[in-house]
Amino acid sequence: MHNEHKMKLFACRNSRSFAEKVAKSLGIDLGQSDILTFSDGEFQPSFNESVRGATVFIVQSTFPPVDNLFELLLMIDAAKRASAYTVIAVMPYFGWARQDRKDKPRVSIGAKLVANILHAAGCDRVMTCDLHADQIQGFFDFPVDHIYASSVFLPHLREMNIENLAIAAPDMGGAKRANAYARYLQCPVIICHKSRERANVVGSITAIGDVAGKNVIIVDDMIDTAGTLTKAANVLKEMGALSVRACATHAVFSGNAYERIAESALEEVIVSDTIPLTEDPNKDTGKITVLSLADTFAKIIDKVYNYEPISNSFIN
């Protein structure tokens, strides 16, 4: 089916390398855009080619700083004001997603606020991957294409052909994801239970399940400070696991994450390229494997552009 509206793919600054891979996979050129930066740090994006009547995809992961989110919003606004037919935000990593409910009094629900701001900027659709909680999709008043990194991770894990495999969830919240992975790989599940002292600080961890003699893979949606992950890995190793690996979609890697991973019992950490990894050679632990989701996003972008169903593209 031919779409009368031309496809245009643009990138914001911090997701440019991912967008280039997506464009290559689609067999198109990345659109030309510029950013004018003022001396006080204010910036203004502009398109260097016509987007009138086009279906415009703008690629940007909204990891901190907040500039990444704001740059995306300005790009959406610019596209709308330049008469784009439809504007789709391609957000491989949807930031602020951990603020998805009021878990204590008088707090913001950041994920809902970001959904509202995207809508206000003129966004018509969002494409993202492994949201912190599936129900965040309900915060949007327009379509959300929720891609699962498992479509890339699971075939890779199966190819590794690990004996005595067990899948572990780092906390109770990850039980559903771990169960889906274990079902696909036909292996048992281990659930780690943690008590938090405060945000980003883990108290103690206990593991529920058969750990001894197993090669364990901990699955999660993101690794931030790697505190929970490395603590869980060390506990599993102490409980008799033969080896411990981790598989997580978003490599936020803030604070001492790299150092923690280097010093932990983790043998390998498999992540995707939704967030660019640091280029600091001193941070390279030799344990990190990156699988690209660019082809997966390209495939979904192509289907959305051509009004084709995407439901059969997912392994959930």
For residue 303, indicate whether it is catalytic. no
Identify whether the C-beta of residue 226 lies closer than 8 Å to the C-beta of residue 257.
yes
3-class DSSP state of 227: helix
Q: Which two tokens stand for residue 255?
A: 């604070």
Q: Which two tokens stand for residue 56?
A: 């415009």
Extract the runs of DSSP E, i.e. beta strands, from the chain: 7-11, 33-37, 43-47, 55-59, 86-91, 125-129, 144-147, 165-169, 189-198, 201-208, 215-223, 243-251, 266-272, 288-291
Identify whether the C-beta of residue 182 lies closer than 8 Å to the C-beta of residue 209.
no
Q: Which of 194, 214, 231, 237 is catalytic?
A: 194
Q: How far is CA 277 from CA 51, 115, 142, 223, 226, in A?
A: 31, 26, 31, 12, 14
Please give the DSSP secondary-structure letter assigned to residue 66: T
Q: How far is CA 203 from CA 18, 174, 209, 220, 235, in A?
A: 36, 18, 20, 19, 13
Question: What value, to the nearest 5°, has the Cα angle with vertex 62 and ends 59 and 63?
Answer: 130
Residue 255, sorted as left (phi over 0), alpha (psi -120 to 50) or beta, turns out to be left
- Which residues are annotated as catalytic? 194
